[in-house]
Amino acid sequence: MGNSINLLYGKSTLALQLPEGNAVQILESKETGIPGDAGDILRRALASPIASPGLAELTETAKKILIITNDNTRPMPSRLTIPAIIGSFRYPEENYEIAILIATGLHRPMTEDEKLEQFGSDICGKYRIINHVAGDKSSLAYFGKTSTGNELYLNKLVAESDLVIAEGFIESHFFAGFSGGRKSILPGVAGESTILANHKPEHIADRNARQSNLTGNPIHDECTEAAVISGLKFILNVALDKNKRIVAAFAGDPVEAHLTGCRFVEDSMSTDAVRTDIVVTSNNGYPLDRNLYQVVKGIDAAAKVAKENGVIVAVARCADNVGHERFRDLILSCGSIAELNEKMSVSPSEIDKWQVQVLAKALACHKVILVSEGIGRDLAERMFFSYAETVDEALSMALAMTSPNASISVLPEGPVIIPRIRSEKDASEGRVY
């Protein structure tokens, strides 16, 4: 065997032994060296906001302040960012009524133990921390319609607050272009019907609704419009390295600061690539690989690099198993990949259907081998995956499915990487990824 490479897996790594003699490309983020002090990075960003007054000015007359934050499917360093935000207010925190709203979207609420893990005892002890529940109509307020006609329902705390601030983490996103910024509002704290309209099959199928693209992206455009309508005034978004350390921060106007952050992430996470017969991907480890629902992101990233009829090996811990029952049930309701692809690509919009739609597209073009302690072989195979106990076994299976001399790509960080294929158009099928 040749060299080995570590793949992020849960809170640790798995070593993949690469075969000798095969063409191999490793797709990784650019080396940034040891990042500066995280506190200094945050303070500098908050002291020089982009296209916006600073928080000292914005909090001069505000009393009720809402901070929207990520749930625990994202590696958001809230223990650092929330104190930095509050420390930038005009007056001591005792002068304000501060609430923290977890932007769960349609994810499940966080438990008290998970809140403690994410935010720490100091933040949990000081502030009211609320899970957004998209299906609870009594917790929503109506904000009117977007230009697409989507009725905008948001958590009523947004309407009841004098100042709304959002923190977030920017990475490439498989259909919204990038995470962060406007996604704190839609889908983050939006009502179920609003999210379903935004994530409808026609939007997911749009050629512009793809990783690292914001131009003409219908999902991004509507999310941005929703953020403007909501009255979101200020954001603090961060970029992280492969060790989940803060390397950059972007504060200020929700649109302009986010775009600045997206450009930074695109530059640092983009890498030239060619398509290969086999692609091995992680899901960027914990917390993004905590369930199979999220692993679709790594599979989608790998599908951009895999040749037509190539093989994808997806490596993910899946400590929370599938994670979304509806996602599982939609897949199990179909008897074949063809049926799955056909049914998921058309209306109506349903909860978690968008994730199945993206997965179905990948499964229609590629064999996908799953390596996961959290998912059993029987369930994996019923959900149209092949299954392997170890990543080395999976690679052996992939070589048997293709060729002993197959070309191989490895994405150790999974979906945060932005592959730039030399020709975005697949010559054989005319398929645009």
Q: Which of 132, 173, 199, 220 is catalytic?
A: 173
- Tokens 């019923």 locate to 382
User: Of 24, 36, 15, which Cα lies nearest the Cα of 241?
Assistant: 36
Q: Give yes or no for a contact between 308 and 279, defined as CB atoms under 8 angstroms apart.
A: no
Query: What Cα–Cα distance (Å) separates residue 291 from each residue in 172, 285, 369?
Result: 19, 11, 16
Compute φ and ψ for 392, nearest 5 degrees. -70, -40
| Active-site residue, 107 included | yes
Question: What is the DSSP annotation of 167-197?
Answer: EEE--EETTTEE-SGGGGTTTTTB-HHHHHH
DSSP label at 432? B
Q: Return the SS3 of 88.
A: coil
How many CB atoms are located within 10 Å of the residue 202 CB?
12
Q: Counting Cβ atoms within 10 Å, is residue 30 exposed (0-12), middle (13-18) or buried (19+)?
A: exposed
User: Of 75, 131, 138, which Cα lies nearest the Cα of 103?
Assistant: 131
Catalytically active residues, by annotation: 107, 173
